[in-house]
Amino acid sequence: MITLLLGFGAVNTGNNLLYLMVSALLGFMAVSGLLGHWNLQKLRLCLAPPEEIYAGIETLMGVQVYNERRLIPACLLDFDFGAHGASRGHISILKKGLHHKVSVPVVFTPRGIHTSVHLKISSSFPVNFFVRHRILHLNHTFYVFPRPVPCFGAGSRYPKNAPGMRETPFKGTEGDISRIGNYQGSEPLKMIHWKLTARHDALKVKEFSALQQPPVEINPLELPGHNLEQRLGCAAYLINDLVRQGQPVGLKLAHASIPPDVGRGHTLSLLTALARYAQD
């Protein structure tokens, strides 16, 4: 606006000083625009999604940013996935030849397999005269799991020492004594075997076998809900809830089933099967 006013004043008055000021301002605007445009060039971006993404729930999507320039750094970079009013990821400065991972908030819908996203990268560099941006199409395959929905029966628990519980080869704090070991410094005092300790020069502790709950098989179609998405959300909630208890969980689907098991990889396999259900 100031540049326009000075330009009109220079034309109306013929003042050479005003012409010089307008020329300097226009040149500065042109240089800042070119620098802002160049600041967004030669940047390579790759997605690094988290292991768990749930439909309709905000998550932090990792974005690896590589500065492939050989001279100067990239400055004042903002990243967002185009949602109105959404918060952004920010990098103040990224030196030449280096890379940096930034976390960008995003909400994905619907559930299922996603193969690409559109990421907006913008910058107000160098003096906030212009905010330039680029829209990048990033290819990466990842799954969006059903949104967990608390449902009837999700809070059920097997009581301790319930019929059907079995011992596992892992250490625990209950069950039968599996062996006597040396005190490592982290065991609670109640686990010290005082009688054996009195016969030896070192503290002895009782090591128990862990108890494992009976396996559970979940059939999403038999769970409560008004539609398929709510039933799948209930199944996702139950899987996460039971896994936290260390209980083997399986899944029974219309045309396939996954036997009960434990572990992080098994949990992700169950959630992935729910994400793909009725979409193949």
pLDDT in tens, 14-26: 666 766 776 777 7
* Residue 155 binned pLDDT confidence (cut-offs 50, 70, 90): very low
Give ∠ CA 43-47-50 in degrees, rounded to 5.
150
Phi, psi values for residue 193, rounded to 5°: -90, 95
Identify which has the larger pLDDT, 12 or 38.
38
Q: Is the same domain home to 198 and 225?
A: no
Q: Is the same domain home to 46 and 140?
A: yes
Give the pLDDT score at 43: 95
How many domains is the chain built from? 4
3-state secondary structure (DSSP) of residue 153: coil
Q: Is the same domain home to 226 and 192?
A: no
Assess if residue 25 is contained within a domain: yes
**Residue 154 burial class via C-beta count within 10 angstroms: exposed 0-12, middle 13-18, buried 19 and up:** middle
Assess if residue 37 is contained within a domain: no
Assess if residue 154 is contained within a domain: no
Q: Are strands 249-252 and 257-261 parallel, antiparallel or unpaired?
A: antiparallel
* Cβ-contact 145, 51 below 8 angstroms: no
Give the pLDDT score at 22: 67
Identify which has the larger pLDDT, 178 or 230.
230
- 187: domain range? 166-212
Query: Where are the strands (E) in the chain, listed by range?
Result: 43-48, 59-67, 74-80, 89-94, 99-106, 112-123, 132-144, 166-182, 204-212, 216-218, 249-252, 257-261
pTM: 0.73
pLDDT of 171 higher than 50? no
Give the pLDDT score at 23: 73
Q: Is the same domain home to 196 and 229?
A: no
pLDDT of 182 higher than 80? no
Give the pLDDT score at 3: 57
Assess if residue 160 is contained within a domain: no
Q: Is the same domain home to 16 and 52?
A: no
* Torsion angle defined by CA atoms of residues 21, 25, 28 and 29, in that order, rounded to the nearest 10 degrees: -170
Identify which has the larger pLDDT, 153 or 245.
245
Helices (H), the chain: 2-13, 16-39, 194-199, 228-244, 264-276
Q: Tokens at residue 220, please? A: 């999403």
Assess if residue 50 is contained within a domain: yes
Q: Is the same domain home to 113 and 94?
A: yes
Question: What is the length of the chain?
Answer: 280
